[in-house]
C-alpha cells in the first residue's frame, strides 16, 4: 500500500474535541488489516537498530507500540496516565493547553542503559512524547528515536523532539487546515 492509500484510511472528524479542530482518527486505519500491517511494516523499516524496548504512550500508542515491538523483536514498555499502574512508579508532569497532566511508568520497567524507541499514534505539540522521554531518561534508558503514525507539523511537536536530540519519523503528515 502507498502512503496515499494509508492516508485515505485515516478519518478526519471536524470540530472534535472542540470547534475548529480537525481530529485525525487512526482507528479507521487500525480496522483495516492490510493498512495496519503496512503502516507498522513501514515504521519498522525506518528503524536502523533494534531497540531493547518500544515505549507505548497511553492509549492508542499501546496499539502502535505493541505491533512495532513484535515486528522489531523488542520488549514493550507501557507509559500510562497517573494512577493506572499497580506497582511503584516514577512520574513526569507535562503541560496541556489548560493545565497539566502526568505520565507514569514502573520504576523497574526500564533497565539503565536500555535503548528505547517511543511510539504513539500521533505527534501534535510534543508535550506527551517529551514527558515520556524524560521518564525513560530518569530511569537510565536511552531514547533512540520516536515513531508516529501521524505528524501534525504545524503544531511543532516533531521539531521539539528533534531539538531534544530524538530522531523522529512519522508515517503520514497532515498539514493544518
Cell numbers linked to 164: 531534544
The residues that are catalytic are: 60, 97
Residues 6 or more apart from 26 whose CB is under 8 A from it? 10, 60, 121, 122, 149, 150
Contact present, 106 and 43 (Cβ < 8 Å)? no
DSSP of 56-77, one letter per residue? EETTHHHHHHHHHHHHHT-EEE
Contact present, 92 and 138 (Cβ < 8 Å)? yes
Amino acid at each position: 500500500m502507498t502512503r496515499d492509500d494509508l492516508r485515505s484510511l485515516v478519518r478526519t472528524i471536524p470540530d472534535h474535541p472542540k470547534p475548529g479542530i480537525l481530529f485525525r482518527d487512526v482507528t479507521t486505519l487500525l480496522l483495516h488489516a492490510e493498512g495496519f500491517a503496512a503502516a507498522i511494516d513501514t515504521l519498522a523499516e525506518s528503524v536502523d537498530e533494534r531497540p531493547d524496548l518500544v515505549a507505548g504512550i497511553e492509549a492508542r500508542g499501546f496499539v502502535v507500540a505493541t505491533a512495532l515491538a513484535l515486528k522489531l523483536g523488542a520488549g514493550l514498555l507501557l507509559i500510562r496516565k497517573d494512577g493506572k499502574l499497580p506497582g511503584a512508579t516514577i512520574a513526569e508532569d507535562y503541560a496541556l493547553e489548560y493545565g497539566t497532566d502526568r505520565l507514569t511508568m514502573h520504576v523497574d520497567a526500564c533497565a539503565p542503559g536500555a535503548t528505547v524507541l517511543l511510539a504513539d499514534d500521533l505527534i501534535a505539540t510534543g508535550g506527551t512524547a517529551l514527558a515520556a522521554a524524560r521518564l525513560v531518561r530518569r530511569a537510565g534508558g536511552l531514547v533512540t528515536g520516536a515513531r508516529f503514525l501521524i505528524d501534525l507539523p504545524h503544531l511543532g511537536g516533531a521539531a521539539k523532539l528533534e531539538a531534544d536530540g530524538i530522531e523522529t519519523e512519522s508515517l503520514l503528515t497532515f498539514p493544518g487546515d
